[in-house]
Amino acid sequence: MRYIILIAFLSLILWGCSEKKDGLTKVDINTLNVPDSFSYETVRPVDIFISGLYKQTVRIYGPNEQLLVKGLVDPLNGLHTKINIPYTVESVKIEYGDEVANVSIGTGNMLDHSFLPAY
């Protein structure tokens, strides 16, 4: 019985250490032709402008409810800030007190939203 366990154990070790073919081609990074206009950036700066009637905490969430920024909206000046957001994020959720808004990020990398009542 010990020999069977020993043979199984050794077979498992040899099988686990064997070189596997993954089907991928190895490429030397120094030989790649990357255009000069290619950008390696994964985030973009976004200007945020939020206005509201009351002095209130505002929270901006990205995907999966990830908090991106938290600040205080001043009734006179609003909230103005700049943050870096991944290029893949196209919209955010803004919480201003009890109010919630889903806002898309504009093509000019600007997020402008007002919680002021419309008259």
pLDDT (tens digit per residue) in 109-118: 899 999 998 8
pLDDT score for 55: 94
Structurally, the chain folds into a number of domains equal to 1
pLDDT at 82 over 80: yes
- Asked if residue 14 belongs to a domain, the reply is no
Mean pLDDT, rounded, for 14-31: 74
Task: Dump strand ranges (E) for the chain.
Answer: 43-51, 56-61, 67-73, 79-86, 91-96, 99-104, 110-114
**Token pair belonging to 53:** 């009637």
- Asked if residue 86 belongs to a domain, the reply is yes
Residue 20 confidence class, pLDDT cut points 50, 70, 90: low
- Asked if residue 85 belongs to a domain, the reply is yes
pLDDT score for 31: 85
pTM, 2 dp? 0.67
User: Range of 95's domain?
Assistant: 43-114
User: Which of the given ranges, 8-22, 35-49, 67-81, 95-109, has the highest pLDDT on average?
Assistant: 67-81
